[in-house]
Amino acid sequence: RSTLFPYTTLFRSERCLVALLLVMSLLAIWAVAAAENVKQQAQREREKEAMFRGEQVADAIRSYYRYRGAQGPNSLPTSFDQLLEGIPRGTKKLQILRAEAARDPLSSSGEWKLIGPTSSNVADFVKSLTVYSGGVPPMPRGDMGRLASLIPQMANVLDTDSTSTAPGGEDDSANSSGPFLGVASRSQRNSVKTYYGIDRHDGWLFTPLFR
């Protein structure tokens, strides 16, 4: 018995060590999964905020367009300063855009990309909306209808797969000085949430055209 005792003790120690390593491995896996979940949740919240702010910008563009007479592209704003300045209301000015909404929460620069009427972003967004609605092309609504001739017409849209490989990083190209009818994020990353079936940040076009 005395000769077997050390081996029995050693065997039990090895079993305890294996069990301890197993527990530690499970804890490490759980920690990684929890960290990834927290990261995704944080991104989801930023994306919700981006949608909220982007739609506020779209509403501000509509208000400015109406104030300028809704006479086509020349009635659209050409800078964020025009939206932030507000529009006359009697002897005062009506605020149509909060300063916070003028910042993109998804890009490190915080700068929205201004989307002009003839930008390829508009064509891509129209295609995505057409796919999302089952093949029915979107049409400008209300007083935005004067811009209908500028909207690309999509026919025979068969690609129903909205997933695309995002290059990552950010679009650092300069904004044009012409009129813009919407904004998009400069983030070129895939999203956790989707916006009308679009799963890339830079594909989300916030515009009053179809709202």
**Alpha carbon separation from 190 to 45, 162, 169, 206 (Å, rounded):** 14, 11, 10, 17
Query: Greater confidence, 61 or 163?
Result: 61
| pLDDT of 52 | 98
| pLDDT of 200 | 96
pLDDT, mean of residues 90-94? 90
pLDDT, mean of residues 56-66? 97
Q: Is 110 left (phi over 0), alpha (psi -120 to 50) or beta?
A: left
| pLDDT of 105 | 96
Q: Is the pLDDT of residue 2 over 60?
A: no
Q: Is the pLDDT of residue 116 over 80?
A: yes
The residues pairing with 88 across neighbouring beta strands, listed in sequence order, are: 93
Q: Is the pTM of this model over 0.85?
A: no
pLDDT, mean of residues 29-42? 75
| pLDDT of 90 | 85
Q: What are phi and psi of 68, to 5 degrees?
A: -80, 5
pLDDT, mean of residues 122-135? 92
Q: What is the mean pLDDT of the chain?
A: 86
Contact 45, 194 (CB under 8 A): no
Contact 155, 93 (CB under 8 A): no
Q: Is the pLDDT of residue 38 over 90?
A: no
pLDDT band at 162 (very low <50, low <70, confident <90, very high): very low
Cα–Cα distance measured from residue 27 to residue 7, given in angstroms and rounded to the nearest whole number: 30
% of the chain exceeding 90 in pLDDT: 55
Query: What does the pLDDT look like over 67-84, one tens digit per residue?
Result: 999 888 999 999 999 999
